[in-house]
């Protein structure tokens, strides 16, 4: 069973300190007003002198004990001051009946200096009993009659009840004020912590986004440069300068493309491939360049009927195609690749399939495929990776282009791991006007680990 932790006791000290200036003004004003009738009404000049000295002692005690104790929250100062307060009240009542006016100061300061309700009630009782006793001592004949005694008890009791009720109410108000102040402070701290958490999450998300962009663009471009440089070296070793020069031209083209990608990342622009054309144009250029660099035959299908695609969806589909072809280059050992795209209602289906070695059983999912999944999921689509019907690897992406919610799911057909392609490869040849036939060279190949 879960138990709710009781709220922590409310410290009223801060409330009183914040209102100290008002209490100062009230104390000095009431004491000054009460001093006049007390001194005038005193029984004798000696009584007036005693009353005046008593008020002076009270003011000095307030300055030396009461006020510093209130600021520090030190009962070693406030409790002695309350004793002085009660004693001065007894003196004032003894020399002048109007000394009872000081009860306004006494009752209010009792609740000001008390640290708990019980202490406040106890001091009120002590003060009331002392006040009644002083009246009786000063004028015993005033309570000689039972009716007079009853009147005194009623007067003192009424004052006591009123003082306790008012003190408890003021205490409740102070506690509510402190609770609200503490709540506001906790709320501010929670908001600051939440803002810090959101900032940290935003930094991590942006870092992850940049890492994925670099992997999908610059890293793949550098991989192409390395492979093309190796191919050029092999051609030079065979004294085949013309093919080597062709590879050098391709290296320059890839390097320029990487430079454009880097500038786009720095400027926070979209992919350069989509800046100057549609998604269909970008996919067509991607297939053309892949075929020229790898000498792997690429069949492209469905670009003519693709139509307009939103910029965010176009980025996801283009990056998915780039990653799938990059994995074909590094891992598949394929002779042919089929890249197809088509519409199915509001969805766009992208498939990349190769006729290579297929998915090994011990494959490890790497950064590329993981990033592809995250992109597709964020776009509200689905990603499937598996073996094709006739062998090889198939990657298929289904992405909504209208009303997409970023709650997509990812399904894996067969063993997940190396990103291959989607659809069925066409190893024997490609039909249709979009088919490309390489001029020669070696098939793409590589290791089992996914990029």
Say if 256 falls within a structural domain: no
Mean pLDDT, range 211-236, rounded to an integer: 81
Q: Are residues 185 and 314 in the same domain?
A: no
**Which range, of 28-32, 91-95, 239-243, averages the lowest pLDDT?**
91-95
CA atoms of 243 and 236, how far apart (whole Å): 8
Q: How confident is the model at residue 397, as a pLDDT?
A: 92
Per-residue model confidence (pLDDT) at position 349:
92
Q: What CATH number corresponds to the domain at position 440?
A: 3.30.565.10
Tell me the C-alpha distance between 131 and 90, whole Å: 6
Cα angle 179, 112, 159 (rounded to 5 degrees) comes to 115
Between 209 and 440, the more confident residue is 209
**pLDDT one-digit tens code per residue, 250-295:** 888 888 887 777 776 665 556 676 777 788 888 888 888 888 888 8
Q: Would you say residue 439 has pLDDT above 70?
A: no
> What's the alpha-carbon Rg for the chain, to the nearest Å?
45
Best-predicted range by mean pLDDT among 80-84, 251-255, 269-273, 426-430? 80-84
Does some domain include residue 222?
no
Residues 322 and 426 occupy one common structural domain:
yes
10: confidence class by pLDDT, cuts 50, 70, 90: very low
Q: Domain containing 325: what range?
A: 278-451
d(CA 271, CA 273): 5
What is the spatial distance between Cα 194 and Cα 201, in angstroms, rounded to a whole number?
Answer: 10
How far apart CA 98 and CA 95 sit, in angstroms, is 9
Give pairs for 12-17: CB < 8 Å, separation 24+.
12/115, 12/171, 12/174, 12/175, 12/178, 13/73, 14/178, 14/181, 15/174, 15/175, 15/177, 15/178, 16/70, 16/112, 16/174, 17/70, 17/71
Give the end of a domain, one of 136, 165, 191: 191
Of the listed ranges 85-94, 170-179, 223-232, 438-447, the least confidently predicted one is: 438-447
Q: What is the mean pLDDT of the chain?
A: 75
**272 in any annotated domain:** no
- Residue 141's pLDDT is what? 66
Instruction: Give the domain-ending residue among 133, 166, 191.
Output: 191
The pLDDT of residue 1 is above 80: no
* Residue at 83 is within a domain: yes
Tally of domains within the chain? 2
**Selection from 257, 264, 275, 262 nearest residue 314 by Cα:** 275
The pLDDT of 324-346, averaged and rounded, is: 87
- The rounded distance, in Å, linking the Cα atoms of 425 and 13 is 80
The mean pLDDT of 445-450, rounded to a whole number, is 42
Question: Is the pLDDT score of 429 beyond 60?
Answer: no
Residue 324 has pLDDT above 80, yes or no: yes
Residue 27 included in any domain: yes
**303 and 185 in a common domain:** no
- DSSP 8-state assignment for residue 102: G
Residue after which a domain boundary falls, among 159, 174, 191: 191
In this structure, is residue 112 part of a structural domain? Answer: yes
- Distance, first Cα to last Cα, the chain: 50
């Amino acid at each position: 069973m879960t138990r709710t932790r009781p709220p922590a006791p409310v410290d009223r000290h801060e409330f009183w300190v914040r209102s100290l200036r008002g209490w100062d003004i009230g104390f000095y004003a009431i004491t000054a007003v009460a001093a006049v009738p007390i001194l005038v009404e005193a029984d004798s000049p000696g009584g007036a002198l005693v009353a005046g000295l008593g008020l002076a002692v009270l003011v000095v005690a307030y300055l030396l004990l009461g006020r510093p104790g209130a600021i520090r929250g030190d009962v070693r100062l406030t409790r002695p001051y309350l004793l002085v307060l009660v004693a001065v009240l007894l003196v004032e009542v003894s020399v002048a009946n109007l000394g009872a006016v000081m009860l306004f100061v006494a009752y209010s300061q009792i609740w000001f200096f008390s640290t708990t309700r019980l202490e406040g009630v106890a001091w009120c009782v002590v003060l009331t009993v002392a006040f009644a006793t002083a009246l009786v001592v000063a004028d015993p004949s005033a309570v000689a009659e039972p009716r007079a005694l009853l009147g005194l008890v009623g007067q003192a009791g009424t004052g006591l009840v009123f003082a306790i009720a008012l003190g408890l109410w003021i205490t409740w108000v102070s506690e509510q004020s402190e609770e609200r102040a503490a709540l506001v402070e906790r709320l501010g701290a929670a908001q600051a912590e939440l803002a810090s958490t959101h900032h940290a999450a935003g930094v991590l998300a942006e870092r992850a986004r940049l890492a994925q962009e670099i992997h999908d663009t610059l890293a793949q471009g550098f991989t192409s440069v390395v492979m093309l440089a190796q191919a050029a070296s092999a051609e030079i070793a065979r004294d085949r300068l013309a093919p080597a020069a062709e590879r050098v031209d391709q290296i320059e083209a890839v390097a320029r493309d990487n430079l454009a990608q880097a500038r786009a990342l720095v400027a926070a622009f979209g992919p350069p491939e989509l800046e100057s054309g549609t998604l269909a144009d970008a996919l067509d250029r991607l297939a053309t360049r892949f075929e020229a660099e790898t000498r792997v035959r690429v069949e492209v299908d469905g670009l003519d009927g693709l139509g307009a695609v939103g910029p965010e969806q176009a980025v996801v589909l283009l990056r998915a195609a780039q990653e799938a072809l990059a994995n074909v280059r590094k891992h598949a050992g394929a002779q042919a690749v089929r890249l197809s795209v088509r519409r199915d209602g509001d969805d766009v289906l992208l498939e990349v399939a190769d006729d290579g070695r297929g998915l090994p059983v011990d494959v490890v999912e790497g950064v590329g495929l993981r990033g592809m999944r995250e992109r597709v999921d964020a776009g509200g689509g689905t990603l499937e990776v598996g073996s094709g019907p006739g062998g090889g690897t198939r990657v298929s992406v289904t992405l909504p282009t209208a009303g997409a919610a970023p709650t997509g799911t990812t399904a894996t057909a067969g063993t997940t791991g190396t990103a291959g392609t989607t659809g069925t490869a066409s190893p024997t040849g490609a039909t249709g006007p979009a088919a490309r036939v390489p001029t020669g060279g070696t098939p793409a190949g590589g290791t089992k680990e996914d990029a």
